[in-house]
Chains A and B, each alone.
Chain A
Amino acid sequence: MSRHTRLALAAAATVGALVMTACGGGGASDTVGGDAQNAGAKTGTINLYAYAVPKVGYDKVIPAFNKTEAGKGVQFQQSYGASGDQSRKVEAGATADFVNFSVEPDITRLVDAGLVAKDWNANQYKGIPFGSVVTIVVRKGNPKGIKDWDDLLKPGVEIVTPNPFSSGSAKWNLLAPYAAKSDGGKNPQAGLDYIEKLVTGHVKVQPKSGREATETFLQGTGDVLLSYENEALFAERSGDPVEHVTPPTTFKIENPTAVLTKSKNYAKAKAFNDFLFTPEAQKLWAQAGFRPVDPTVAKEFAADFPQPTKLWTIDDLGGWKTVDGTLFKKETGAIALIYDKATS
């Protein structure tokens, strides 16, 4: 081995050691994020982080936004996944300009982390551009005769619903029968008893998100899928052999959006968020199967979205702060405990 080769090797080893030390500082991931942000500012890219199912809506809304004055040339970098998982990723430093989660606590997490302004829900719709209701999806022809929450507890009925520790959809799915059985939270024990029977006896799989739950169900697992009405409509419209039954008493789903304060592209992201509330976008959401919040548009599409006999809301149960703390908080929440016991 020649002297030069040795020197080269020594140099390589030294460089290697230096690189290692530099990486040890923990700067690596920051740099990556920084680059992406700068790129975003230059080209007018909005990084969109959303829960798993609204992609079908954004596929309509984004082209419409691009046609408006404010949205010209704006590109979108879209990421969809389990609501809680997405929220934790943004909290951990993923570059996002605009977020849309299934449940409010996933936005609150970002408020607590200083990433979203405290007044994110100050507009007249409380930061919620669209919603849905919890519905029961069954196989075509409803072979098990499922009509209401009690039918789910029939022996042998297998239910697909996602994992509430990662999915927002899962929280809504469990809140619906909980509210129905507890008379809107007045009798919590009755609600929890139902949830315990449901989770312990009938839920066999834990997909991570509402979308994955749909995929699991469509691939043949289970008799019943609990899901968003919009997701049920989406599956039916794409020709999958399923149908949905909205129980007489169910739950109003409200899916919030927010803009990140530190966004490099704040003005565009804000414009996009505002656009979602315009009648034009509201109609597009309605066409994609989501319940619009604009009263005029809602009236127009009333035939598509039948009103259940009783629709409980998160406010009836005391708001997300209370609900999350008492029911879903890891290791102390009542439903979290039931879930942990049944699935670990």
Chain B
Amino acid sequence: MTTTTNHARRGDTSTEGSSLPPRPHLPLGDGADSLPAAPPSSRRTGVARPLGVGLVGLWLSVLVLLPLAALTVTSLGEGIGGFWHAVSAPVALASLRVTVLVAAIVAVVNAVMGTLIAWVLVRDDFPGKRIVNALIDLPFALPTIVASIVLLSLYGPNSPIHIHLNATQPGLLVALAFVTLPFVVRSVQPVLIEVDREVEEAAASLGASNWTTFRRVVLPTLAPAVISGTGLAFARAIGEYGSVVLIGGNIPRKTQVASQYIQQQIEIDRPLNAAAVSVVLLAIAFVTLFVLRLFAGRSLRREEDAQ
């Protein structure tokens, strides 16, 4: 049953060519017979298609493209020189550096811990598993400012456990790791559920160690999901504001992240600086997602070839 739905989804993905994250993929056990033979688009001829494309185009323009274009125009209000001046101001650069560094660390931590959590949730049974499973989504449901307050009361100046992380980079790390927790878990989990365990057993019976089985059999299957989850976590982390606003301390050159720098520039009436740094942040996020899609696409293809 899973096989069929999976293929139906994959058929859609391949015809439309863009959907995040890459769909889970079965490594073995499905022959060429079940691959979509005919393009499923024959029922979508006529007026509906241009109309649909037009509607999507309009919607994306209003919501995404036009605002981004307006932002870019604002950031170029004083020409390329003004843009460059705004972006290369030492404090602006420092805030971008802090942002990318912390977000990268958080993404890597998430890739490892998220996969581990997903693994435990799928493969192991323990009392309270369903509660833990539900808890994973809490950072999505919780307003991020609440996360900041929670962390501040735990790690702030009046810390009951005497750990003081406010206004430090570890404080930023903890805050961002908290809000990005679900990304990797939730993209790896469904793939892991659908993975055919017989392959692992076969590998084990052929004498592969646990580590080899994981590395050669399980990881390649999970890789696209891990990568896309990590990418989303990174992209979320570089733009995060609410969760760091209280615990971060907003100290220029040390813990001020780009979103806080942008906010500050607006408050002191320098909209151009704010727009310029926003554009850079946007570019970083876009490039990240783009590169990760390339990666995910490639590993998907490699896997398909392997079959």
Contacts and interface: CB of A to CB of B under 8 A. Distances in A.
A25 to B, nearest CB: 15
Nearest to B263: A208
Interface residues of A, number: 29
15 contacts: A9-B52, A13-B54, A16-B59, A82-B267, A84-B269, A163-B267, A165-B268, A165-B270, A206-B250, A218-B157, A219-B152, A219-B157, A221-B167, A343-B91, A344-B92
A4 B47 CA distance: 12
B2 to A, nearest CB: 29
Interface residues of B, number: 31
Contact of B55 (A9, A165, A207, A216): A9
A205 B268 contact: no
Interface in B236-282: 249-252, 254, 264, 267-270
Contacts of A9: 48, 51-52, 55
Interface in A200-254: 204-208, 216, 218-221
A204 B252 contact: yes
Given A205-B249, A220-B167, A344 B89 contact: yes
Given A6-B47, A208-B264, A219 B55 contact: no
A219 B167 contact: yes
Contacts of B46: 1
A88 interface: yes
A244 to B, nearest CB: 19
Contact of A220 (B47, B157, B250): B157
Contacts, number: 80
Interface of A: 1, 6, 9-10, 12-13, 16-17, 20, 82, 84-85, 88, 163, 165-166, 204-208, 216, 218-221, 330, 343-344
Interface of B: 44, 46-48, 51-52, 54-55, 58-59, 62, 89-92, 152, 156-157, 164, 166-167, 249-252, 254, 264, 267-270
Contacts of B270: 165
A12 B54 CA distance: 11
B250 A205 contact: yes
B250 A207 contact: yes
Given A16-B62, A221-B251, A344-B91, A208 B267 contact: yes
Contacts of A206: 250, 252, 264
B148 to A, nearest CB: 12
A227 B44 CA distance: 68
A206 B39 CA distance: 59
B164 A13 contact: no
Given A6-B51, A205-B249, A343-B252, A13 B264 contact: no
Nearest to A339: B268
A13 B268 CA distance: 40
A140 B228 CA distance: 51
Closest 5 CB pairs of A and B: A165-B268, A220-B157, A166-B267, A344-B89, A166-B268
Nearest to B66: A20
B269 A88 contact: yes
Given A84-B268, A344-B89, A220 B48 contact: no
Contact of A10 (B51, B90, B164, B251): B51
A10 B252 CA distance: 51
B48 A1 contact: yes
A228 to B, nearest CB: 19
A163 B256 CA distance: 15
